[in-house]
Amino acid sequence: MTSKGQPGPKVPIRDQATKDKALNDEELVAELQRHMDADRFGVLYDRYSALVFQKCLGMTRDRDLAKDLTHDIFLKAFVNLGKFDHRSKFGTWLYRITYNYCLDHLRKAQRRRTDDIDEHPVKDGLAEDRYEAELLALRAERLGAVLEALDPEDRALLLMKYMEDLSVKEMMEVLELGESAVK
């Protein structure tokens, strides 16, 4: 719009995409809240899809499931973007959606759990390499079993702390918990 309220010249799509990429997250979200646009939302997807995927993978330890959950999470974020109130950063809001969505999925899966742990030991290579790979697989299996036995919320806290290196303050913000509850 021009200063007189008249529509300005149309911006070519390529120029608009470049402008969208130059916006910070909060500016981009504000634009999306004014006018929802799948291409513009794609900029946010490009910025955050790897992080969301890694969080999903860390919580589920299943690459295909993590891909599916990532797509579901972005669909949910797209549909609910109008509810984002800018009290926190967009990344924190998306992280909270990711955490809650994965946690809900894990809770549902735990109810119908059949305990199939995916193990792929290395079968070729030198004997020493094979031994080390089998030892590593055994340790991973044991760690997986211990993590699996934990309550999904406790498991998520451990993953946030040790895999994602989040601070207590960051975990408090994401989980909306007090400091003592996080510790």
pLDDT tens figures, 10-69? 555 556 767 878 888 899 999 999 988 888 899 999 999 999 999 999 989 899 999 999
pTM over 0.85: no
| pLDDT tier for residue 96 given thresholds of 50, 70 and 90 | very high
Does residue 135 or residue 171 have the better pLDDT? Answer: 171
CB 145 within 8 A of CB 117: yes
| pLDDT tier for residue 2 given thresholds of 50, 70 and 90 | very low
Number of H helices, E strands in the chain: 9, 0
**Domain range list for the chain:** 13-113
13-113: CATH class = mainly alpha
Is the pLDDT assigned to residue 97 strictly greater than 90?
yes
What burial letters (b/e) apply to 24-40, b meaning 16+ CB within 10 Å? ebeebbebbeeeeeeeb
Q: Hey, CA dihedral for 87, 165, 66, 106, is it positive or negative?
A: negative
Q: What is the pLDDT of residue 118?
A: 44
d(C-alpha 122, C-alpha 134), whole Å: 7
Per-residue pLDDT reduced to its tens digit, 118-149: 444 444 445 566 666 666 666 767 777 677 77
d(C-alpha 109, C-alpha 8), whole Å: 52
Q: What is the pLDDT of residue 43?
A: 92
